[in-house]
Amino acid sequence: MAQIALSLFISLTIFGFSGTVDSSSSARAYLEAQCRTSVYRDLCVETLLPYVSKTILGPQQLAQVSLIVCLSKAKQTKEYVNMVATHLNESNQAIEECLDHINNGVNQITLSVKEFQRMGIDGEEKFVLHEGNVQSWVSAGLTDVDMCIDGLLGDGIKGREKAIIKAKFLNVKQLASNSLSLFNRFASRHRASHIVKNP
Protein backbone atom coordinates (compact mmCIF):
# COMPACT_ATOMS: atom_id res chain seq x y z
CA MET A 1 0.00 0.00 0.00
CA ALA A 2 2.83 2.38 0.89
CA GLN A 3 4.54 1.66 -2.44
CA ILE A 4 1.32 2.39 -4.32
CA ALA A 5 0.91 5.68 -2.47
CA LEU A 6 4.54 6.60 -3.18
CA SER A 7 4.15 5.82 -6.88
CA LEU A 8 0.96 7.89 -7.05
CA PHE A 9 2.63 10.80 -5.24
CA ILE A 10 5.57 10.72 -7.63
CA SER A 11 3.32 10.54 -10.69
CA LEU A 12 1.38 13.57 -9.45
CA THR A 13 4.52 15.50 -8.52
CA ILE A 14 6.82 14.88 -11.47
CA PHE A 15 6.03 16.40 -14.85
CA GLY A 16 7.78 17.48 -18.04
CA PHE A 17 8.84 14.05 -19.29
CA SER A 18 11.33 14.25 -22.15
CA GLY A 19 10.70 11.02 -24.02
CA THR A 20 10.26 7.27 -23.88
CA VAL A 21 12.64 4.44 -23.10
CA ASP A 22 12.85 1.62 -25.63
CA SER A 23 14.18 -1.07 -23.29
CA SER A 24 15.27 -1.77 -19.74
CA SER A 25 18.89 -1.89 -20.90
CA SER A 26 18.71 1.60 -22.38
CA ALA A 27 16.97 2.84 -19.21
CA ARG A 28 19.79 1.40 -17.10
CA ALA A 29 22.44 2.91 -19.36
CA TYR A 30 20.73 6.30 -19.13
CA LEU A 31 20.62 6.11 -15.33
CA GLU A 32 24.21 4.98 -15.07
CA ALA A 33 25.18 8.17 -16.89
CA GLN A 34 22.93 10.32 -14.69
CA CYS A 35 24.15 8.67 -11.46
CA ARG A 36 27.86 8.73 -12.28
CA THR A 37 28.60 11.49 -9.74
CA SER A 38 26.72 9.72 -6.93
CA VAL A 39 28.73 7.98 -4.21
CA TYR A 40 26.34 5.00 -4.17
CA ARG A 41 25.89 4.63 -7.91
CA ASP A 42 24.40 1.13 -7.96
CA LEU A 43 21.77 2.13 -5.40
CA CYS A 44 21.06 5.30 -7.38
CA VAL A 45 20.37 3.28 -10.53
CA GLU A 46 18.26 0.62 -8.79
CA THR A 47 16.23 3.25 -6.92
CA LEU A 48 15.31 5.19 -10.04
CA LEU A 49 15.01 2.34 -12.54
CA PRO A 50 11.33 1.55 -11.79
CA TYR A 51 10.42 5.16 -12.57
CA VAL A 52 12.21 5.34 -15.93
CA SER A 53 11.25 1.92 -17.26
CA LYS A 54 8.88 3.55 -19.76
CA THR A 55 9.64 7.27 -19.56
CA ILE A 56 12.87 9.23 -19.53
CA LEU A 57 13.06 11.70 -16.65
CA GLY A 58 15.22 14.80 -16.91
CA PRO A 59 17.80 15.75 -14.25
CA GLN A 60 15.27 17.77 -12.24
CA GLN A 61 12.69 14.98 -12.22
CA LEU A 62 15.28 12.35 -11.30
CA ALA A 63 16.45 14.42 -8.34
CA GLN A 64 12.85 14.96 -7.23
CA VAL A 65 12.01 11.25 -7.42
CA SER A 66 15.19 10.36 -5.53
CA LEU A 67 14.38 12.83 -2.76
CA ILE A 68 10.76 11.66 -2.46
CA VAL A 69 11.89 8.03 -2.21
CA CYS A 70 14.42 9.06 0.45
CA LEU A 71 11.66 10.77 2.44
CA SER A 72 9.48 7.66 2.21
CA LYS A 73 12.30 5.45 3.50
CA ALA A 74 13.06 7.90 6.32
CA LYS A 75 9.41 7.79 7.43
CA GLN A 76 9.43 3.97 7.33
CA THR A 77 12.60 3.95 9.44
CA LYS A 78 11.01 6.34 11.92
CA GLU A 79 8.02 4.01 12.24
CA TYR A 80 10.29 1.02 12.87
CA VAL A 81 12.31 2.82 15.56
CA ASN A 82 9.05 3.89 17.20
CA MET A 83 7.91 0.26 17.21
CA VAL A 84 11.15 -0.93 18.79
CA ALA A 85 10.93 1.81 21.43
CA THR A 86 7.36 0.79 22.24
CA HIS A 87 8.34 -2.86 22.78
CA LEU A 88 11.32 -2.15 25.04
CA ASN A 89 10.55 -2.93 28.66
CA GLU A 90 12.48 0.09 29.92
CA SER A 91 13.64 3.44 28.64
CA ASN A 92 16.70 3.31 26.41
CA GLN A 93 18.70 6.50 25.94
CA ALA A 94 20.18 5.47 22.59
CA ILE A 95 16.73 4.74 21.14
CA GLU A 96 15.26 7.97 22.55
CA GLU A 97 18.09 10.03 21.08
CA CYS A 98 17.77 8.16 17.81
CA LEU A 99 14.05 8.99 17.70
CA ASP A 100 14.85 12.67 18.19
CA HIS A 101 17.35 12.56 15.34
CA ILE A 102 15.09 10.68 12.92
CA ASN A 103 12.21 13.05 13.70
CA ASN A 104 14.48 15.96 12.89
CA GLY A 105 15.76 14.17 9.80
CA VAL A 106 12.26 13.50 8.46
CA ASN A 107 11.34 17.14 9.04
CA GLN A 108 14.45 18.36 7.23
CA ILE A 109 13.90 16.10 4.22
CA THR A 110 10.21 17.06 4.11
CA LEU A 111 11.21 20.72 3.99
CA SER A 112 13.67 20.00 1.19
CA VAL A 113 11.02 18.19 -0.89
CA LYS A 114 8.62 21.12 -0.52
CA GLU A 115 11.36 23.64 -1.28
CA PHE A 116 12.41 21.70 -4.38
CA GLN A 117 8.85 21.82 -5.66
CA ARG A 118 8.92 25.63 -5.43
CA MET A 119 11.94 25.91 -7.71
CA GLY A 120 10.83 27.36 -11.01
CA ILE A 121 7.50 28.53 -9.59
CA ASP A 122 8.85 31.62 -7.80
CA GLY A 123 10.97 32.74 -10.75
CA GLU A 124 14.63 32.51 -11.66
CA GLU A 125 15.61 35.29 -9.26
CA LYS A 126 14.84 32.99 -6.31
CA PHE A 127 16.47 29.88 -7.75
CA VAL A 128 19.69 30.29 -5.76
CA LEU A 129 17.74 30.83 -2.53
CA HIS A 130 15.77 27.61 -3.02
CA GLU A 131 18.94 25.77 -4.07
CA GLY A 132 20.72 26.74 -0.85
CA ASN A 133 17.74 25.73 1.28
CA VAL A 134 17.44 22.28 -0.31
CA GLN A 135 21.17 21.65 0.07
CA SER A 136 21.15 22.79 3.71
CA TRP A 137 18.13 20.71 4.70
CA VAL A 138 19.26 17.51 2.99
CA SER A 139 22.71 17.93 4.57
CA ALA A 140 21.07 18.46 7.97
CA GLY A 141 19.04 15.28 7.45
CA LEU A 142 22.26 13.39 6.69
CA THR A 143 23.79 14.70 9.92
CA ASP A 144 20.79 13.51 11.92
CA VAL A 145 21.08 10.03 10.41
CA ASP A 146 24.80 9.87 11.22
CA MET A 147 24.16 10.92 14.81
CA CYS A 148 21.57 8.19 15.25
CA ILE A 149 23.87 5.51 13.81
CA ASP A 150 26.74 6.67 16.05
CA GLY A 151 24.52 6.58 19.14
CA LEU A 152 23.12 3.08 18.70
CA LEU A 153 25.71 1.44 20.92
CA GLY A 154 23.86 1.45 24.23
CA ASP A 155 22.63 -1.58 26.16
CA GLY A 156 19.04 -2.75 26.00
CA ILE A 157 18.77 -3.13 22.23
CA LYS A 158 18.93 -6.70 20.98
CA GLY A 159 21.54 -7.49 18.36
CA ARG A 160 19.02 -8.22 15.60
CA GLU A 161 16.99 -5.08 16.27
CA LYS A 162 20.13 -2.96 16.42
CA ALA A 163 21.36 -4.43 13.13
CA ILE A 164 18.01 -3.79 11.42
CA ILE A 165 17.85 -0.19 12.65
CA LYS A 166 21.41 0.48 11.53
CA ALA A 167 20.74 -1.07 8.12
CA LYS A 168 17.64 1.08 7.66
CA PHE A 169 19.50 4.23 8.65
CA LEU A 170 22.41 3.41 6.37
CA ASN A 171 19.93 3.01 3.51
CA VAL A 172 18.39 6.42 4.27
CA LYS A 173 21.87 7.94 4.49
CA GLN A 174 22.85 6.53 1.12
CA LEU A 175 19.58 7.64 -0.50
CA ALA A 176 20.00 11.15 0.92
CA SER A 177 23.57 11.30 -0.34
CA ASN A 178 22.48 10.25 -3.82
CA SER A 179 19.58 12.71 -3.77
CA LEU A 180 21.94 15.55 -2.87
CA SER A 181 24.31 14.54 -5.65
CA LEU A 182 21.51 14.42 -8.24
CA PHE A 183 20.15 17.73 -7.00
CA ASN A 184 23.56 19.41 -7.21
CA ARG A 185 24.00 18.07 -10.74
CA PHE A 186 20.62 19.47 -11.78
CA ALA A 187 21.21 22.83 -10.08
CA SER A 188 24.67 23.21 -11.59
CA ARG A 189 23.39 22.50 -15.09
CA HIS A 190 20.44 24.83 -14.58
CA ARG A 191 22.64 27.71 -13.45
CA ALA A 192 24.96 27.12 -16.38
CA SER A 193 22.08 27.56 -18.82
CA HIS A 194 20.31 30.47 -17.07
CA ILE A 195 21.30 33.88 -15.83
CA VAL A 196 20.44 33.52 -12.16
CA LYS A 197 20.57 36.57 -9.91
CA ASN A 198 21.26 36.16 -6.23
CA PRO A 199 18.16 37.03 -4.13
Per-residue pLDDT of the chain in tens (199 residues, 90 and over written 9): 444 445 444 554 544 444 444 567 888 999 999 999 999 999 999 999 998 877 778 999 999 999 999 999 999 999 998 888 887 766 677 788 888 899 999 999 999 999 998 887 877 888 889 999 999 999 999 999 888 887 775 555 667 888 888 899 999 999 999 999 999 999 998 888 775 444 4
What does the pLDDT read at residue 151?
74
d(CA 109, CA 131): 14
Q: What is the pLDDT at residue 49?
A: 92
Whether residue 145 lies inside any domain: the answer is yes
d(CA 184, CA 128): 12
In a domain, 101, yes or no: yes
42 is a domain residue: no
Beta-strand ranges (E) seen in 16-156 are 19-20, 55-56
Chain centroid, CA 43 distance in Å: 12
Confidence (pLDDT) at 18: 45
Give the range of the structural domain holding residue 121, as residue numbers without chain letter. Answer: 60-193
70 domain-assigned: yes
- The reply to whether 91 falls in a domain is yes
* Residue 96, pLDDT score: 82
Neighbours of 69 (CB within 10 A): 19
Residue 8 lies in a domain: no
Q: List, in order, residues 6 or more apart from 186 with CB less than 8 Å away.
A: 59, 60, 62, 63
Establish if 12 belongs to a structural domain.
no
CATH at residue 179: 1.20.140.40
Q: What is residue 24's predicted lDDT score, i.e. its pLDDT?
A: 74
Q: Which pTM was predicted?
A: 0.83
Query: Residue 78: its pLDDT value, please?
Result: 93
The reply to whether 15 falls in a domain is no
| The pLDDT of residue 85 | 81
The dihedrals phi and psi of 147, each to the nearest 5 degrees, come to: -65, -35
Q: How many domains does the chain have?
A: 1
- Say how far apart CA 73 and CA 95 lie, in whole Å: 18
Q: Could you tell me if residue 16 is left (phi over 0), alpha (psi between -120 and 50 degrees) or otherwise beta?
A: left
Q: What does the pLDDT read at residue 157? A: 66
Environment class of 149 (CB within 10 Å of its CB; exposed 0-12, middle 13-18, buried 19+):
middle
